[in-house]
A and B are shown apart, each in its own frame.
Chain A
Amino acid sequence: MHVPDGFIDAPVSVATGVVAAAGVAVALRGSRRELDDRTAPLAGLVAAFVFAAQMLNFPVAAGTSGHLLGGALAAILVGPWTGILCVSVVLLMQAVLFADGGLTALGVNITDMALVTVVVAYGLFRLLVKTLPRTRASVTAASFVAALVSVPASALAFTGFYALGGTTDVPMGTVAGAMVGVHVLIGLGEAAITALTVGAVVAVRPDLVYGARDLVAPLELRTAPAGNGTETKAA
């Protein structure tokens, strides 16, 4: 879904460019709350993962390609603001490193693959986590659904931009149907990978999942190694 140069006409490219820039600017301000000196490396890792995931391309109807988007994973692990930054960085680096996605189409690409996926996925994730019982399984299930929905949502946004700024007159209904249909399939793959990863991380490093950091047990003090006449006192 990386749009190349010349695919979308100038007015829509400029408009989405403005939207993307504004979105990233807001995310930069918001991320100051999420990003300390340890979450910066986490954001980098999430970006590296999203980068790798986006390299897996599936052929999609009407000749375009589809691939995993990673917006949901990013938002759930590092929070929505940093998540937007991660995916945007990935898109930018893909454009300059691999010529994947046009430089002048960055606005379109960031808007539908960073902003839309993160907003949809994170909104849905929070909603589900709030309504489901507070267990690890709920977190995993919520991330599955959030990831599943975020992919067709992004495809729909892409189709919308094409309807507005496509350089050719094609029957939009058909295109939208095909895009959404195929992206539901991709969404299933995305959902499985997102849920597995989030599940694995929650299991052993709950501190790394944004919003699930309040599971700390109190520390214990001892004067001798446990096992042989241990005296313990609670701290």
Chain B
Amino acid sequence: MEIRYDSPRYPSKQPPMRIRVLVFARLRELLDGGERSLRLPEGASVEDAWDALVAEFPAIAQERRCTRVARNGRLGSFDDGLNDGDELALLPPVGGG
């Protein structure tokens, strides 16, 4: 599945970035699948990616508070900017062991 999202803040004059989104556990269930591709305008942040997902899956909105993000396998923050081709993992509270 691919969601195309044109942020009002970032009118899509440039070719959009493609972001690979991985979600796990509860978020995977709410998004009905573990992996998807997002198209976001150049300059979009992790926050923008999240908002794009919330637009399609409103049920995840309340998960925001306890979700951590990893960009290309490294922990990051919702403020981080994204680059074309980034892998963005959305991590609910962990509980291994």
Q: Do A and B come from one complex?
A: no
Q: Which residues from chain B sit less than 8 Å from chain A, CB to CB?
A: none
Q: Which residues from chain A sit less than 8 Å from chain B, CB to CB?
A: none
